[in-house]
Chain A
Amino acid sequence: MAKIKGEIIIDVERCKGCHVCVPACNFKCVGVSPKVNSKGYNYVVFENSESCTGCANCAIVCPDAAITVYRTKVE
């Protein structure tokens, strides 16, 4: 059966660590890194990549548009 699979790429340096994207994902694919970027923000990271559908919910709520989203169908 064909399945929709997604992937997000986070621009760590643009992330301001607001974490508004974290609850926006229904599949818990966005987590918070214990590390900080060069500005000192705890940036977000892609987790549970298997569950990502590429719905872009995380990306459209990001004020800094730091997330790029890809989606494809896999057989």
Chain B
Amino acid sequence: MSSIAKKENLVYQRPALRTEKEYSFCPGCGHGTVHNIILEVIEEMGLQEKAIGITPVGCAVLAYEFMNIDMQQAAHGRAPALATAINRMMPDKAVFTYQGDGDLAAIGTAETIHACNRGENIVIFFVNNGIYGMTGGQMAPTTLPGMPSSTSPYGRDVETMGGPMKITEMISQLDGVYMSTRQAAHTPAYVRKLKKAIRQAFENQQARKGLSFVEIVTNCASGWKKTPTDANKWLEENMFPVYPLGDIKIDGKLVK
């Protein structure tokens, strides 16, 4: 070991709030990176004692094993309803949900929209990988036109299956939503931007401004049947045109 690798020179290490357990995610899956950033922000803001995360049904279900904070797990799609209850019982806590697109935008559409409409003082993290990851790559409401999945093997046919649902744009129209943004997590620049957005969301929550919604467009290399680096390239070329990155609503005002 050289002289550089010393404690006083440390600039990055595993987030302190991560448990020792190894992530169950596939190699290169965006879920892991997003978990890491959320935990860093919680630590930097000193919210470890206040944070309560609600995990979904999907690949992120085991977040309660990896995040060393209070966690609860909801029935499929119902995380915003559970978060509503917890936040109303304990308004001083920092309550957030962490959900995939099958969870949030399919089975949980109603809970998502109504929690947003009520302007619950929570943070919603929406990990959009365009597919149902855990169950084997079935089509989600967010699947791209023409994109093959295990339930649309010839590609999503918009005529019969509808087009990709832009749920972040939809909920941004609701008065209850104070902040909404779409970010990514697969390159250093996107990770740094995402971290700022996550911090802003928790700051809003702590200042009781209402609901903050952070979408993160990520890969599902296994579901897309690509290597992680190819999946990230495919994501930029195909997901970004349909799901453009950037803020949609800031301080309660639409900016896009």
Contacts and interface: CB of A to CB of B under 8 A. Distances in A.
Interface of A: 5-7, 9, 14, 16-20, 22-24, 41, 49, 54-57, 59-65, 67-72
A17 B10 contact: no
Given A7-B5, A62-B33, A14 B22 contact: yes
A59 B32 CA distance: 12
Contacts of B187: 24, 61
B32 A60 contact: no
Given A14-B22, A70-B6, A71-B4, A60 B12 contact: yes
Contacts of A68: 5, 10, 12-14
A67 B12 contact: yes
A64 B22 contact: yes
B112 to A, nearest CB: 25
Given A9-B5, A61-B187, A69 B11 contact: yes
7 contacts: A9-B5, A61-B185, A63-B30, A63-B36, A65-B32, A68-B10, A69-B11
Given A23-B229, A49-B2, A64-B32, 18 more contacts: A7-B4, A9-B5, A18-B221, A19-B28, A20-B232, A22-B229, A55-B188, A62-B32, A63-B29, A63-B33, A64-B23, A68-B10, A68-B14, A69-B12, A69-B13, A70-B9, A72-B3, A72-B6
Contact of B27 (A41, A65, A67): A41
Given A9-B5, A70-B6, A60 B191 contact: yes
A71 to B, nearest CB: 5
B64 interface: no
